[in-house]
Amino acid sequence: MTPTDLPPVRTASPRLHFAPRNNWMNDPNGLVFHDGLYHLYFQYNPQGVEHANLSWGHATSTDLVRWTEHDPAILWDDDAQIFSGSVVVDHGNTSGFGTAEAPPLVALYTAAAPGHQSQALAYSTDGGYVWTKYDGNPVLDRGTSDFRDPKVFRYDDGGDGYWVMVAVEAEDRQVLFHRSDDLKTWTYLSSYGPAGPVGGVWECPDMFPLAVDGDETDVRWVLLISLNPGGIAGGSGTHYVVGDFDGTTFRASVPHAAPTRELLRAGSQTRDELERYGWIDFGPDCYAGVTFDGLSRSERTLIAWMDNWKYAGRIPTHDSDERRSAMTLPRRLSLTRDAEGVERLRQHPAIGFEVEESIDLLSMAGGVALAERVAGAARIRFTATFGDAQSIELHIESASEEGRVVIRQDRTSGRVELERLGEGMPSGFRGSPSMTLDRRDEIGWDLWVDDLNERVSSVELFAQNGERVLTALIPVASPRTYTVTAVGGSLDGVRADIAERGC
């Protein structure tokens, strides 16, 4: 199948995020950019809206906004479900499944059977549409029950290079590194952990190099680890560690102390403890994020599952679509160094959204409606300084209280809090996720809102130039009015850029 033969692009909601036509979806898998197309594979139940019969769904895009969904790529069978994994383009045909002129795509995934998980391989010679499971599976088996989620990349050792697999022993909170020359035979290299957040099992690792502040002579490696539960906002979340990788061992720039046996058994850490670590997202609904293979270092792009294991299986669906879950916005990643010399991950949306209206004020007291009766998707970029105001609030409201959201930034503490109601939503949904900013006199929000279906919407807030991100699902209440309010004084240098994408 060639790109010109692909089925027509879906036009249903959501407007900015990928969601399947129907059925259950969770973790993104096998993200790869190949021959001008972004391929998104994902955990998928082809038979219903429950977490079962896990296979790999498949969608493609040329721009990360408009997605074409295809038939499921790799199907579960009586022997195993197809858990998370990754896809690489085998340019040197090291696996022997293709040719040097027509390199194969190779998927490494977890074959999950009751009480046993191992790593298996499938390959495609038609650009990623039809997949064949390897007769020699499994390609890596430790004989354990929770060894999963392989992320594979090509490591440049100054010579011909080799493949590296990053996977987890989930219950042990360990990341394991293996190497291969042909993607079929793997040799153990080293391990990382347990360390840092350990309040839940570790899952869906990824690792990649990024230049600090764009300086290609100053490159660090970023290790992503998702955990469930134990996330910063409760339930599932994704932690990151910055360090160095020499082709064998990963070493954190700022090592985290190994947890005690008591802590591993207790499985809980305080909010103050969790604040010490790096997080991809401070909201409750960003999990299992991984990045695309096949893009340059400066284009490193991540997509995550926009949900939380606390309630994902109980989020209401709509009768007309019967689907659960969506993916986050695609996010372009970079590294920066703060005033203390600590490397921090930055994220910016990797898609465009043209500004339709701007508001520019020298100062503002009280409230100003930024946009009224917006249905569908909206983006609001809002900047200001506090003046003598004590806090700022952005109210997202409709004629109904259902889905009302208040985003609040406090000048003294620097904390940004999102208050979400949970009418019609399952237990565990209500709450006020928050994050603390370093620059406390400044307000710099890049807010994205989208209707995922007729019952659920999403809010993604990028702050402090992408160093802090907060993602949360909300009940739908559309159309919406967006009103900003200065509390206890006035704001100075107010500017808002507004974009809408209607239904």
Q: pLDDT tens for residues 168-202?
A: 999 999 999 999 999 999 999 999 999 999 999 99
In terms of Cβ atoms closer than 10 Å to its own Cβ (0-12, 13-18, 19+), residue 100 is: exposed
> Cβ distance 245 to 189 under 8 Å?
no
pLDDT given at position 341? 87
pLDDT given at position 401? 67
pLDDT given at position 287? 98
Equal fold, 21-348 vs 354-501? no
Superfamily of domain 21-348: Glycosyl hydrolase domain; family 43 (2.115.10.20)
Q: Please name which of 206, 469, 219 lies closest in space to residue 337, comparing C-alpha atoms.
A: 219
pLDDT given at position 455? 79
Residue 299: phi, psi to the nearest 5? -110, 20
pLDDT given at position 357? 93
Structure token digits, residue 426: 């399952």
**Domain ranges for the chain:** 21-348, 354-501
Q: Which residues contact 354 (CB under 8 A, 6 or more apart)?
A: 499
What Cα–Cα distance (Å) separates residue 258 from each residue in 54, 153, 173, 174, 379?
A: 34, 27, 11, 11, 41
CA distance 447 to 115: 43
- Calculate the CA 59 to chain-centre distance: 16
DSSP track, 315-354: SPP-TTT-EE--BPPPEEEEEEE-TTS-EEEEEEESS---
Multiple choice CATH, 354-501, 3.50.50.60, 2.170.150.70, 2.60.120.560, 2.60.40.420:
2.60.120.560
Tally Cβ neighbours within 10 Å of residue 43.
23
In terms of Cβ atoms closer than 10 Å to its own Cβ (0-12, 13-18, 19+), residue 480 is: buried
Q: Provide the β-strand partners of residue 67.
A: 61
pLDDT given at position 267? 73
Is residue 114 reached through a cis peptide bond, with omega within 30 degrees of 0 on the bond before it? no
> Which parts of the chain have pLDDT scores under 70?
1-13, 318-321, 401-403, 422, 503
pLDDT given at position 9? 43
What is the pTM for the complete model shown? Answer: 0.95
Q: Which residues are catalytic?
A: 27
CA distance 367 to 480: 16
pLDDT given at position 12? 47
Structure token digits, residue 159: 């010579």
CA distance 305 to 219: 28
